[in-house]
Amino acid sequence: MGHAHTWEIRRLGLLRYAEALALQEHCREEVAAGHPGFWLIVRHPPVVTAGRRSSALGDLDVSPAELQGRGIDFAQTTRGGLLTYHHPGQVVVYPILDLRRLRMAVREYVEYLAGIVCETVAGMGIGGRYRPEAPGVWVYNRGVSRKIASIGVNVNRGITLHGVALNVRPDARVAPFMRCCGMPAEAFASIEEELGRSVEPEEVEGLFVPVIECVDPRRVGRL
């Protein structure tokens, strides 16, 4: 069932959101034509993206034009979820996979992505947990839970787009006028805050690769 050893993993560095989306669409066409699948690992310049549940932009107190005036792009997307903020201190992973070949339901796939993140941060000594009622990966510290990674996907004809965003270092520039995922800024965690030291996003990108290669999709539900 697993195709981990034939998936193509690309580390693309800093890439504008629109370029990454166009690349995902191209990869989706290749997967539809028979390619085993892709994992795109990127970082984005500052950009606010709106999911299907956020068309009214109720969690954004400024206009998209005002965002651009602050040097922050805006994009409406087809993923699930609410507003999300991407920035260079965040590692974003976009799997383009055919769930029919993997015999996975969308719910199982989301759990699988959360498991990939949990395994990755565990390699840095951070314990992450998946919460189905608030899709993402959460960390618990002194009785307080905070979200360290967000998940938002789109599945069309069985093939996935979008994915997960893992916070490596905090970036609070949108906190005064935006509620990411409908939550205040203090509800989010980062790897740097959890470890109490500086962490380069490139280090985290490298940690994702062996996890993607080794974690078997058949372990869904046991991660």
Compute the C-alpha angle 24/39/146, nearest 5°: 100
Contact 57, 158 (CB under 8 A): no
Contacts of 103 by beta carbon, 8 Å cutoff, 6+ apart: 1
Task: Provide the 8-state DSSP code for 118.
Answer: H
Q: Which one is catalytic: 27, 118, 180, 181? A: 181
Name the strands in the sheet holding 38-43, side by side, starting at the edge strand that comes first in the sequence.
8-14, 38-43, 90-96, 159-167, 144-156, 136-141, 128-130
In order of 49, 89, 92, 223, the CA distances from 73 in angstroms are 8, 16, 16, 35
Active site residue 181: yes
Contacts of 132 by beta carbon, 8 Å cutoff, 6+ apart: 111
d(CA 159, CA 137): 23
- Any idea which residues carry the catalytic annotation? 181
